[in-house]
Amino acid sequence: MSLLLDTHAALWLVQGDARLGTGARARIDAARPTELAISDMLLLELAMLVEKGRVVLKTDTADFLNRLASRFLVIPINGTIAVEAMALGLEQADPFDRVFVATARQTDAELVTRDEAISRSGLVPVVW
């Protein structure tokens, strides 16, 4: 089964941040490169977080995002994912989280996230 990384998981992985869960790190390390994916919406969310000052990068944002995208299979949002994202029974209304969950469901992937609301929802297998 492939792994779809949430924004914080992908960022912490590439930055070597210890906040990445040990279980998540072990699963990522054991995965083949073709089994690691991100949603294209992750790139937009990360750009937004940088713009708002919630994430600080040591390099140009576009360069960082392009290098990040080159490390993973980037799954584009499509109509099926968009409709499912809006129909999900999630506590939060965060559109990025909704897209990540719907993308994981549509691609039969486990979602690498520490988001407790997603974990509690039982909508998708979660790795952390």
* For range 39-66, the mean pLDDT: 97
| Pair of tokens at residue 48 | 């937004």
Return the closest-CA partner of residue 82 out of 72, 91, 95: 95
CATH number where 79 lies: 3.40.50.1010
| Pair of tokens at residue 47 | 């750009």
pLDDT of residue 103: 98
Each residue of 106-127: pLDDT tens digit? 999 999 999 999 999 999 999 9
For the chain, the domain total comes to 1
H or E element, residue 74: strand 73-75
Each residue of 19-36: pLDDT tens digit? 999 999 999 999 999 999
Mean pLDDT of the chain: 96
Return the closest-CA partner of residue 128 out of 54, 30, 16, 28: 28
